[in-house]
Structure 1
């Protein structure tokens, strides 16, 4: 038995959950927050037999695509915190998924 932990962007989470449940995989959803952009993420937990791990990862891969997003970053001019704040748009890559697969020693459904 394996536990798949998939961290996806909030805007992808509903589609991933729908795709996984259509394939008869059970999913537990946890609301989480990312560290870099402080944006909302969703962590999905999927308990699955070892031989189906790649099938679940393929479903996640097909839904969670990387895309470019423009964010505005404030910068100070003059090198001090009290200086003039200028905002610059920066294009970053978002989306995709971070997936962990771990062994499960015991699984009990009550």
Structure 2
């Protein structure tokens, strides 16, 4: 594939837990990526920034993969109810389902003037 056919640059900031599956799926669909370690400015959590050049007609496909693999999703976890220290009932307290939001990807799409590999 001629590198000059790439007209869009995607920079996607992916949570560390999601990057492996995301990159694997991008690769399976013919997208080659460069990964950079990064840290979020607000939560100070480790992220991976994925850079990829894509033809304009493949942009939607790449964005859909990013959304499916690294987008926000809800998951139910089970958490124990907090009881005062030393409570005789602490061991008998059931777990309570709590819905939490996981994942999330921030995507930047830019026009790409030129992409070359040497």
TM-score by length of 2: 0.69
Q: Which residue of the partner structure matches residue 30 of structure 1?
A: 36
Extract unaligned runs of 5+ from structure 2.
1-6, 76-98
Quick check: which has more Rg, 1 or 2? 2
RMSD, matched Cα: 2.0
For residue 115 of structure 2, give the secondary structure of its aligned residue in structure 1. Answer: coil
**Is residue 2:14 matched to residue 1:8?**
yes
Deviations 1:56-98 (A, max 9, x none): 00001111132469xxxxxxxxxxxxxxxxxxxxx97442100
For 1:106 and 1:4, how far apart are their aligned partners in 2? 13
Q: Which residue of the partner structure matches residue 106 of structure 1?
A: 114
Q: Displacement of 1:39 after TM fit?
A: 0.4
- The alignment covers a number of residue pairs equal to 90
Map 1:48-67 to 2 at 5 A: 48-67=54-73
For 2:109 and 2:18, how far apart are their aligned partners in 1? 20
For residue 49 of structure 2, give the secondary structure of its aligned residue in structure 1. Answer: strand
Q: Which residue of the partner structure matches residue 97 of structure 1?
A: 105
For residue 99 of structure 1, give the secondary structure of its aligned residue in structure 2. Answer: strand
Cα distance change, pair 34–94 in 1 and its aligned pair in 2 (3 A): farther
Q: Which of the two has greater helix per residue?
A: 2
TM-score by length of 1: 0.74
For 1:23 and 1:94, how far apart are their aligned partners in 2? 24
Moved over 6 A (4+): none
